Amino acid sequence: MKNFKYFIKKSAIFEVVKFNSMKKLIVLTLFHILFLFPVYCQEKIKISEDIELIKLTANTFLSVSYGDISGYGRVASNELIFTNNKEAILFNTPIKDSLTKTLVTWLNDKMGLKVTAFVANHWHDDCIGGLNYLHGRNIKSYANKVTIDIARAKGKAVPQNGFSDSLKLMLDDKEILCYYLGAAHSTDNIVVWIPSEKLLFPGCMCKSIDSQNLGNTADGDLKEYPKTIDRVISKFPSAEIVIPGHGAWGGKELLLHTKSLANK
């Protein structure tokens, strides 16, 4: 009888454990459905072997370009395209001029979009690697003044127009706001906020949800990183779309995930 009671108790505990495990599985499944399913189900337009385009909203597209980065191999990088009345602003370029030419030419020829301005997130090649090509097409460029100083010192293409704390641009009647909120991935990295789309582009300071670490921080500031992410989280509570520099886009959970990585 004693053994029978023990068996019942043990079975009950097993059932509770099994139930809790099932709850965790259901929660994880729902997470993937809610946050990752929209990412994988979006239509991808293949521009070339190295560039694909994903429509995010009626006025925004995510460009994913592939290029070789020293020490990392072939890497996918994100660029943002904001459009309005057949004009477009590009945020970050693919890693080199030839890829940037492919992207801008395709936007012009296939979508009838004229790229009129460019904004760099920071000074690395996955942000300004195609800047010479843009300047050759008389496309105005903007960046943090620190980005301009570093690019000049390193012999890279130099953005034309600088700002210190913030920059407001207009694309016809649509507003674009750029802010420098502190060092993180790099000492000059900025964030871009497009209110009409509730879209935030923090670039490489923000990590994708599957990232296990902060990646390349050789030119960043690990002490300031979590403070900067906190400022970003506080400043944009209404952000619905958040785009990292690499990997799948998501929502504010990407910023919280990045904060967790930065605090380690």
Confidence band, pLDDT 50/70/90 cuts, at residue 87: very high
Q: Give the residue-averaged pLDDT of 169-177.
A: 97
* Beta carbons of 150 and 120 less than 8 angstroms apart: no
Distances (CA, A) of 151 to 97, 118, 123, 154: 16, 15, 6, 5
Residue 148 predicted with pLDDT over 50: yes
pLDDT tens digits, 26-55: 444 344 444 444 444 467 899 999 999 999
Backbone angles phi, psi at 68, to 5 degrees: -85, 125
129, two tokens: 């690697």
Dihedral sign from CA coordinates of 159, 164, 203, 140: negative
Residue 10 predicted with pLDDT over 70: no
Q: Give the residue-averaged pLDDT of 90-96.
A: 97
Confidence band, pLDDT 50/70/90 cuts, at residue 25: very low
- Output the pLDDT for position 173: 96
Nearest C-alpha neighbor of 244 from the set 24, 91, 15, 100:
91
Looking at this protein, which amino acid is placed at residue 114? Answer: K
pLDDT tens digits, 63-80: 999 998 777 789 999 999
- Output the pLDDT for position 117: 98
- Output the pLDDT for position 16: 39
Across the strands, what pairs with 84?
87
Of 62 and 26, which is predicted with more confidence? 62
Residue 171 predicted with pLDDT over 70: yes
- Output the pLDDT for position 70: 75
* Residue ranges of domains in the chain, CATH in brackets: 41-263 (3.60.15.10)
* Beta carbons of 141 and 118 less than 8 angstroms apart: yes
Nearest C-alpha neighbor of 147 from the set 224, 204, 77:
204
- Model pTM score: 0.84
* Beta carbons of 117 and 160 less than 8 angstroms apart: no
Least confident residue range of 29-43, 66-80, 118-132, 162-176 = 29-43
Supply the residues annotated as catalytic: 122, 124, 126, 185, 204, 207, 216, 246
Which strand (E) or helix (H) includes residue 103?
Answer: helix 97-111
Q: What is the mean pLDDT of the chain?
A: 88
